[in-house]
């Protein structure tokens, strides 16, 4: 995948909450290729330093007032039975 495709696939995953399988279908690649692409984009942005998010320790040191709520929207496979 090109750098542009990797970035676009990452944006689709993070913004649209699409599954890696579905995004892989758009590019004709496997779920693992999309996963590797997303990790590559995230690691590249981390190395730049301008895109770093504060860690858990920063949140623990914060005052008692809660300003943001973070929700984990990590995809989890669900086994379903067809009736």
pLDDT at 2 over 70: yes
Q: At what angle do helices 31-48 and 20-27 cross, to 10 degrees?
A: 100
What residues does each domain of the chain span? 3-61
Q: To the nearest whole percent, how much of the chain has pLDDT over 90?
A: 45
Q: What is the DSSP letter of 83?
A: -
The mean of the pLDDT values for the chain is: 84
Q: pTM score, two decimals?
A: 0.62
C-alpha span between 8 and 12 (Å, rounded): 6
What sign does the dihedral 68-69-74-80 (CA atoms) show? Answer: negative
Contacts of 11 (CB under 8 A, 6+ apart): none
């Amino acid at each position: 995948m090109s750098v542009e495709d990797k970035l676009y696939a990452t944006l689709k995953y993070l913004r649209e909450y699409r599954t890696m399988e579905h995004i892989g279908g758009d590019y004709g690649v496997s779920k693992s290729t999309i996963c590797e692409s997303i990790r590559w984009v995230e690691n590249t942005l981390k190395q730049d330093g301008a895109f770093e998010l504060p860690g858990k320790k920063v949140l623990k040191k914060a005052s008692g007032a809660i300003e943001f709520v973070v929700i984990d929207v990590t995809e989890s496979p669900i086994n379903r039975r067809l009736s």
